[in-house]
Amino acid sequence: MTSTYSNYAAIAQYSEWLAEANQRTQGLPAEWLPWLLDRGSLTSALTVHSDGEFRVRVLSERWQRPHSREALKLGIPQHLAARVREVELLCNQQVMVYARSIIPLAMFQQEPYTFQGMGSKPLGHLLFQDGRARNRQRSLCIFKAADGKRVYGRATPYEYHGGEILVSEFFVNPSLVSS
C-alpha cells in the first residue's frame, strides 16, 4: 500500500468513529498510534519527519454546513454554516495528511482577521503558537475504502480564545509509518 488515498469527501463523511473508551484496541495498528495519540502540534511533528520539507496546500476554504458528527462534536446546530477549511499537509512534496477544520460562525466573528487571511499558513501554528490552545475529547476513526485501503484519522476540538475549533486529520499516506 504505497499510494496516497485521496477520496477526501468520503473519508470526512463516512469514517467509522470509534468509541472513546476502546480507541486503543479497536483495529488500530500499533504503528499508527504515535501519530493518532500525540497531543502536540501535527505541523511540528510533520516538519521534523520531513527534515523541514513541510508545506500546506489549501484545497478549499468556504462557508458550509458541517457534517452532523462535526456539529455534534462542537455542540453547534447542524443547520448553521461554519467556516470549513480543507488542506493537504505535504512532506517532501508528498501528501501525508488530509485535514478538515471547522470554525463555527461565532468563533470566526470573534477572530475574523486571524482566520480570514491564513492562506497556506498551518492552522497548527496558530493554535499552538501562544500555548493557549487546549485539545480535549479526541476521537479516532478508520475509513475502509472499497478497494481495501484503510485510512486512520483523528478529530480534536481545540479550545481557542474562548471558543472551539474542530480539526480532523486523516493520515492518507501509509509511507508515514513505513519511512
Residue 62 CB neighbours (<10 A): 10
Q: Is the dihedral of CA 89, 94, 97, 102 positive or negative?
A: positive
Residue-range domain boundaries for the chain: 8-178
Superfamily per CATH, domain 8-178? Chorismate lyase-like (3.40.1410.10)
What single-letter amino acid sits at 32?
W
Residue 29 CB neighbours (<10 A): 12
Tens of pLDDT along 107-120? Answer: 888 877 777 777 88
> Which cell goes with 147?
478497494
pTM: 0.89
Tens of pLDDT along 117-134? Answer: 778 888 877 777 766 566
Rounded to whole angstroms, the Cα distance separating 63 from 73 reads 18
